[in-house]
Amino acid sequence: MAAAYTLRERVRSLTRRDGGNGIVITVAVGNVHPVSGGWHLERPVEVDFSGEKWLISIHQSQVHVVVDGPEPTDVETFRNDIRNVAQGCVDALGYHLAVPLRVELSSMILGGIRIALIEPGWSALRDEDTDRGLVVLEEKLSPFTIGSLTTPSVRLALADLRDAIDRPDDTAFYCYRAVESVRQWFLGESSDHGAAKEESWEKMRGELGIGRKSLMPLKELADSRRHGGSRTPSEEERLEALRIARLLVARFIEYVASSEEHVQARHPT
């Protein structure tokens, strides 16, 4: 219980700084997965970011992040920043243990009075019917399920989109990789160079009805992380990147499904 005790003591000291006038603005709570590992840091990590005091505690797979600083103007982007910082601490631990660990935040307390519950997924990307009960109708789900089982490019693109939602720093990177996963299908057995590469881009855009200009904003946003840069996209930029990539992947899955139906019609079993 040493880490938990230290956390309580450090939170008290943060709130009492400047003669007792300081206030802890944000407290974020979550878990480290897989939870069953009981992951912990020997002591909380303390760091200053541009005048903000951060305290990160991990004990028995529970994550607490305390931020003492100005109240954020963009809560969603600030939430991503908190998750990224906590994930960085967990990745450091995971490196030494050779274990893939993942942080999931469940709630935040803002300004000491407002509670923000963090729901799984992204409701802005869901259909109205799906968002209502988190249930996907079979007719909508089936092409995606069958595609993931029969077409590696579909499985890989869906995995890229999963990581794009899960990892705020890398949203644009994984969105663009989902596009590249689809493009590889149109490349076929050709070498991914020169004229063959360009033809695969043109064929993908043509068959799926996606213009070159539609993909350029995603490429520009993704280029920094693709080349090792550290720029973190805003929540609005993440949402736009996901919408572009999800539209292309959905059209690809429809295209694959219709192609298979056409083949079966011509060659019935």
Condensed to tens digits (0 to 9), the pLDDT of residues 6-49 reads 444 444 444 434 434 445 578 999 999 999 999 999 999 999 98
Residues 246 and 202 in one domain: yes
Residues 76 and 145 in one domain: no
Residues 152 and 223 in one domain: yes
Residue numbers of the domain that contains 11: 2-117
Write out the H or E segment, with its range, that includes residue 30. strand 26-33
How far apart, in Å, do the first and last CA atoms of the chain sit?
65
Kindly state the percentage of the chain with pLDDT values over 70: 84
Dihedral sign from CA coordinates of 202, 204, 205, 208: positive
* Structural domains counted in the chain: 2
Residues 77 and 24 in one domain: yes
Condensed to tens digits (0 to 9), the pLDDT of residues 169-210 reads 899 999 999 999 999 999 988 888 889 999 999 999 999 999
pLDDT band at 268 (very low <50, low <70, confident <90, very high): very low
Q: Say if pTM beats, i.e. exceeds, 0.85.
A: no
Residues 210 and 162 in one domain: yes
How far is it between the farthest Cα atoms of the chain?
A: 81
Residue whose C-alpha is closest to residue 13's, from 49, 58, 44, 59: 44
Residues 73 and 150 in one domain: no
Residues 130 and 105 in one domain: no
Condensed to tens digits (0 to 9), the pLDDT of residues 126-148 reads 876 665 566 788 888 999 999 99
Condensed to tens digits (0 to 9), the pLDDT of residues 50-81 reads 788 999 999 999 999 999 888 788 888 888 89
Q: What is the CATH number of the domain that holds 13?
A: 3.30.310
Residues 130 and 227 in one domain: yes
Q: Which of 6-10, 173-177, 217-221, 222-226 has the lowest mean pLDDT?
A: 6-10
- Please identify, among 52, 85, 117, the residue that sits at the C-terminal boundary of a domain: 117
pLDDT score at 20: 40
Rounded to the nearest 10 degrees, the angle between the axes of helix 75-97 and helix 235-266 is 70
Residue whose C-alpha is closest to residue 182's, from 233, 228, 249: 249
Residues 99 and 189 in one domain: no
- The highest-confidence range among 46-50, 153-157, 162-166, 263-267, by mean pLDDT, is 153-157
pLDDT score at 114: 73
